[in-house]
Amino acid sequence: MLPVMGGRSQRVGPPAPQVVETEVDGDVCLYDPTSERVAVLNATASDVWRLADGTFTISEISELLASSYGTQPTSIAPDVEAVVSEFIEAGFLAQE
């Protein structure tokens, strides 16, 4: 896993323009036609993806999800950072 440049204050997203997004029973499925990569996201990763529109930082996403899940932002932030790193590595998020 690559460290996220800019750490938790980096804004996440928006999605790369070529990425196709479909929901299957609440889980987000992503397809990148340039790399032909497919990813099926679990419920938490799907929630992170839905917030990855370029508006929020990793810290802000962690706070929003922690509030929704009834947990502490500090306990969820490492997982959010990890999944954002995977999105970047897979090319699903637009590069600055």
Q: Is 42 within 8 Å of 27 (Cβ atoms)?
A: yes
CB atoms within 10 A of CB 23: 11
Residue 5 CB, shortest distance to another protein, in Å, is: 29
Site string for another protein, 32-71 (x = CB under 8 A): -x--x-x-xx------------------------------
With 0-12 CB in 10 A as exposed, 13-18 as middle and 19+ as buried, what is 9? Answer: exposed
Based on CB atoms, which residue is closest to another protein, 1 or 38? 38
Q: What does the binding site for another protein look like in residue numbers (CB under 8 A)? A: 20, 22-27, 29, 31, 33, 36, 38, 40-41
